[in-house]
């Protein structure tokens, strides 16, 4: 029987994987707690102490705990450490789902960051939008700035594809290619 796995990109060792090109560095980030919060986001903010507004695409998140807006009633909450709030339905009107294992996070930085963004999406990186959920490199992603870096969250099953895309994009940016 034919081995269909040969069609798929092999995922690199995310702990040590780095893409470097002039003006650009990309690495995988691990160890973040990621929660999907749905429902009454004001109630979430009161219960958790984490802002229920969240940053949108290319918005700037700060600190070790923050939220990215995915929809009117949905957030991706990211933390450097576990949060002291239970998963599941909360009587205050919101649900919390642990999704750390389902999303791979990448961090991109450097002087060529805007050129990198221009290859991934048609959105203007200087204009923050209400939602951080967007199409990036042809797949659904959550994209925002964290400090001077760009963070991209993708379904773990698509991480190897995005990594390959980022390697090619970085090479094209370094070569000054116009495509």
Q: Are residues 85 and 168 in the same domain?
A: no
Computed over every residue of the chain, the mean pLDDT equals 93
178 confidence band (pLDDT: 50, 70, 90): very low
| Residue 14 exposed, middle or buried by CB count within 10 Å (0-12, 13-18, 19+) | middle
Q: Is residue 9 part of a domain?
A: no
Q: Is residue 7 part of a domain?
A: no
pLDDT at 177 over 70: no
pLDDT at 179: 47
What's the mean pLDDT in 59-80?
96
Beta-sheet pairing, 139-146 with 60-61: parallel
What's the mean pLDDT in 37-60?
95
Summarised one tens digit per residue, pLDDT across range 107-154 is: 999 999 999 999 999 999 988 899 999 999 999 999 999 999 999 999
Q: Are residues 112 and 84 in the same domain?
A: no
Q: Are residues 25 and 106 in the same domain?
A: yes
Q: Provide the number of structural domains found in the chain.
A: 2
Q: Is residue 11 part of a domain?
A: no
Q: Are residues 74 and 110 in the same domain?
A: no
Range of the domain at 92: 33-98
Q: Are residues 151 and 109 in the same domain?
A: yes
pLDDT at 174: 86
Q: Are residues 51 and 135 in the same domain?
A: no
Q: Are residues 82 and 43 in the same domain?
A: yes
Domain boundary among 47, 78, 98: 98
Q: Are residues 81 and 111 in the same domain?
A: no
17 confidence band (pLDDT: 50, 70, 90): very high
Task: Look up the CATH number of the domain holding residue 169.
Answer: 3.30.1360.120
With 0.95 as the threshold, say if the pTM is over it: no
pLDDT at 88 over 90: yes
4 confidence band (pLDDT: 50, 70, 90): low
What's the mean pLDDT in 74-85?
96
Two tokens, residue 166: 């980022």
């Amino acid at each position: 029987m034919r081995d269909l796995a040969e069609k798929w990109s092999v995922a690199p060792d995310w702990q040590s994987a780095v893409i470097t090109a002039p003006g650009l560095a990309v690495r995988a980030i691990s160890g973040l707690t990621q929660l999907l919060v749905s429902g009454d986001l004001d109630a979430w903010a009161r219960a958790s102490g984490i802002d229920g507004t969240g940053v949108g695409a290319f918005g700037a998140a700060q600190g070790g705990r923050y939220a990215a807006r995915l929809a009117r009633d949905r957030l991706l909450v990211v933390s450097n450490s576990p949060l002291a709030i239970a998963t599941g339905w909360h009587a205050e009107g919101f649900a919390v789902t642990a999704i750390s294992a389902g999303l791979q996070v990448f961090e991109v930085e450097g002087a060529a960051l805007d050129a990198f963004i221009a290859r991934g999406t048609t959105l203007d990186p200087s204009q923050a939008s209400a939602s951080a959920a967007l199409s990036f490199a042809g797949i659904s992603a959550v994209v925002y700035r964290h400090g001077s870096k760009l963070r991209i969250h993708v379904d773990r099953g698509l991480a190897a594809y995005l990594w390959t895309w980022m390697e090619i994009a970085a090479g094209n940016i370094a070569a000054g290619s116009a495509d």
